[in-house]
A and B are shown apart, each in its own frame.
Chain A
Amino acid sequence: MAKSDIIEHKEKHRHIEPENPLGLDSPRAKVVLAGNPNVGKSLIFNYLSGVYVDVSNFPGTTVAITKGSYKEYDVYDTPGIYGVSSFNDEEKVAAEIILEADIIINVVNSLYLERDLFLTLQLIEMGKKVSVILNFADELKKRNIKINAKRLSDILGVEVINTSAVSKAGFEQLDYAIENARMGKQNEDLHKVLHNFLNRVGSQAEALLVAEGDEYISRKHGVEPGSADDREYIYIDRRNRVNEIVSFVEVEDTSKGRFFNLFGRLAVNPITGIPILLVLLSVIFFLIGDVVSQRIVNFTENTIGKRYFEYYTKLLVAEYASTDITVNLLDDKENVEESKTFRIPDGFSTAVEMKNDFRKISRLPNAETEYHFHNPFVRLFFGEFGVITMTITYLLFLLLPLVISFYIAMAMLEDSGYLPRLATMLDRTLNRIGLNGRAVIPILLGFGCVTMATITTRLLTTDKEKSIANAILQFTIPCSAQLAVISVLLSGAGFKPLFIYVAVIFTVMISISTFMNKVLKGAATPLLIDLPIMRMPKLDNLFKKTFFRTYGFMKEAYVWFFVGALLIGVLEITGLLFVFQDLLAPVTTAWLKLPKEAANAFVMGMVRRDFGAAGLFAIELTTMQITVAIITITLFVPCIASFMVMLKERGIKEGLIVWFSAWILAFFVGGLTAQIII
């Protein structure tokens, strides 16, 4: 694996410098946080470095290494792993940085001591300086479990401290843990074996991995890896020692302390799990589709955005710019009842009376105002697709509230521990399309952000699984921003268009994945996933996560919105937009049965998918035309950001195939639907 592979983008965090990914020449000591998935590494990293990293309650949240600094140390957060080896990409990434570490802070979930100590022992056997953090002290108390940290420390030969990452209890001891990290007690027999390898591979840590049959590390040193039997032997021996240690240090006071979570049990069984899923989805859809997209957005977009922001901005511009303004007064059915046009060749500044008149009439509740600026540049920035007016309204007053609500919903699903259970429930269903239950995680995350979800396809095992999941994401999953716009377009249209939309997209999803499952070689790998405890999402983490994701989204999105608006604006002013519209006209009007301006949405959609969907607002469409348009836009090419990430994750060839197929698929399916329903 190239070093550059380690420097993976996660979200908008500080990243390792590409020139020197592991800080090899840095004199600062490297402190690496290592632990099983879901043990609270990221919260501790967050505390130490002040760098925010996404925290969730499911395995695979951290797919990359994040670097921060704390006092005189460089601190690294790593993906959760059950052991150091190179079974998949996540593990390779983690193994590399663990090998480089000066000090390892091994974070352990006290509830799952038996599982987590396996990694602890391995780290100690690697000869690393280690301190152990027993996290989730609060959960232990709730369940009447006691762990004798002193005894554990004696057995392991390293410092062991208790913390509760969520409430930050015990964090004041982290300094002590870092400063007092040391080599633990070595397993004598194993140690002797490792010495034979030592002179060939350089470090005890690597010697251990080679002895355990790690092909990647072995290849690096040109030595023969240990056999599968050797590995099993070492693993079983380690497992037995872990079990022994646990029986020494852990006491469960009462058998009633055993965790039993009814909801968690019900959520995995299809008989109860499918209704639970449907209820959850309905609640989310109701909250977002009705409360947020109807009521809140109606207020933010129409009142704040159009009535105040755009109104005053345009009025200010009209003060000096030459323009014609048409004010239409609408009746209850939105038909134009009365129309008045103001012609101000020198702007309102020289026509004060006309301005007063305009302000009176344009402030009536049923008034609709259209500006026709004469100067093309003024039109470019303040006109119908105005780079400034339209972009700001869409971004701040339409998308922002919707994206926030989607991210809150996603964060709740993630933090509750529901996702791995959903993965379990859908495992057999997904087997049929060549995936296992784990694939549900990237697919569901895609409803938040397809770009981010594409990165998490890494937690799947085989290339085939990754390709199928990637195709599902890129072709069929609308991201939160796009969904937001779609739910606004669909809201109030009744049940039928929604049903058609979902049915068509779902059919396409099944067809693509079934097709790929047939064509690509290999079988689905069986599911093997640990189910974290179900817990109430913590509000502060929920808000923090939503805030950072929204911030990251806006920071990335606004540039593309301005670029897209500028592109459309320039195309419009130069007349190229009409050329493009005419070119696509046979497809748009005859095949898709949409007005030819709908082609604008496709131009915009190449920049950002949601932007494409938003472009449909400007056009008068019937309900069925909206249905066809959103189906086409959903299946259309992924946004630039997703496209770039896909090229990186899946390779140029696969990326380009997906991108070009999206054109064909979108127009084919959209048109087919149009021929049937319009």
Chain B
Amino acid sequence: MHDADIKRHAPTLVPGTSLDKAVKGTYFIIADIPHGLHKVQLIRLGISIGDKIICLQRLPGGTIIIQKNRQEIAIGYHLAREIKIQYI
């Protein structure tokens, strides 16, 4: 629970990079997800702040496909733009 607290208040370490700009085939860490319904849905799907994720594809128009473990998830451009990431 202590851990969760730290994650919840973790500052965005690398400013400016959002998920819609993620480069195909690279690993990154989720730095911030805006509060609200989508955050909750992402947590349930297994994506939360601090997770290591790979960007599988970037589709024209900005839809992003990410993979965590074996789970592939497609994220629309408007949501991807709101999600901050940090390269590792």
Contact = CB atoms under 8 A, between A and B. Distances in A.
Q: How large is the interface on A (under 10, 10 to 19, 20 to 34, 35 or more residues)?
A: 35 or more
A112 B72 CA distance: 10
B88 interface: no
A228 B44 contact: no
B21 interface: no
Given A233-B8, A237-B1, A270-B59, A115 B74 contact: no
Interface in A401-438: 420, 423-425, 427-429, 431, 436-437
Nearest to A115: B46
A530 interface: yes
A530 B71 contact: yes
B45 interface: yes
B11 to A, nearest CB: 16
B40 A526 contact: no
B38 A526 contact: yes
Interface in B41-56: 41-46, 48-49, 56
Contacts of B57: 265, 268-269
A531 B77 contact: no
B59 A269 contact: yes
B44 A83 contact: yes
Given A239-B43, A268-B59, A428-B62, A259 B70 contact: yes
Residue among B37, B68, B70, B79 with max Cβ neighbours from chain A (10 Å): B70
Nearest to A430: B76
A261 to B, nearest CB: 9
Given A258-B70, A528-B79, A268 B65 contact: yes
Contacts of A112: 46, 69-71
Nearest to B35: A228
Contact of B48 (A111, A239, A259): A239
Contacts of B73: 528-531
A428 B58 CA distance: 12
B4 A236 contact: yes
Q: How large is the interface on B (under 10, 10 to 19, 20 to 34, 35 or more residues)?
A: 35 or more
B52 to A, nearest CB: 11
Interface in A82-98: 82-83, 85, 87
Contacts, number: 134
B76 A436 contact: yes
B71 A115 contact: yes
A114 B71 contact: yes
A46 B59 CA distance: 38
B1 A427 contact: no
Interface in A503-547: 523-524, 526-531, 533
B45 A526 contact: no
Given A114-B46, A232-B35, A530-B73, A425 B59 contact: yes
Majority-rule SS of A interface residues:
helix
B76 A437 contact: yes
Nearest to B41: A528
Interface string A63-93: 0000000000000000000110101000000
Majority-rule SS of B interface residues:
mixed
Nearest to B40: A235
Contact of A531 (B38, B43, B65): B65
Contact of B76 (A87, A189, A427): A427
A400 B14 CA distance: 61
A423 B79 CA distance: 16
A231 interface: yes
Contacts of B75: 526-528
A87 B37 contact: yes
A528 B73 CA distance: 7
B67 to A, nearest CB: 9
A118 interface: yes
A526 B60 contact: no
B61 interface: yes
Given A82-B44, A82-B45, A239-B46, A428 B8 contact: no
Given A112-B71, A423-B74, A531-B74, A526 B59 contact: no
B17 interface: no
A167 interface: no
Given A228-B35, A228-B36, A114 B69 contact: yes
Contacts of A111: 70
Interface of A: 82-83, 85, 87, 111-112, 114-115, 118-119, 143, 189, 228, 231-233, 235-237, 239-240, 242, 258-259, 264-265, 268-271, 420, 423-425, 427-429, 431, 436-437, 523-524, 526-531, 533
22 contacts: A111-B70, A112-B70, A114-B68, A114-B69, A115-B46, A236-B43, A236-B48, A239-B43, A268-B57, A270-B59, A270-B60, A423-B74, A424-B59, A424-B74, A427-B61, A437-B76, A526-B38, A526-B77, A527-B74, A528-B73, A528-B79, A530-B74
Interface of B: 1, 3-4, 7-8, 35-46, 48-49, 56-57, 59-63, 65, 68-80
Given A114-B68, A228-B35, A427-B74, 19 more contacts: A85-B40, A111-B70, A115-B44, A115-B71, A232-B8, A232-B43, A233-B8, A236-B48, A236-B49, A258-B70, A427-B61, A428-B63, A431-B77, A436-B76, A437-B74, A523-B78, A527-B79, A531-B65, A531-B74
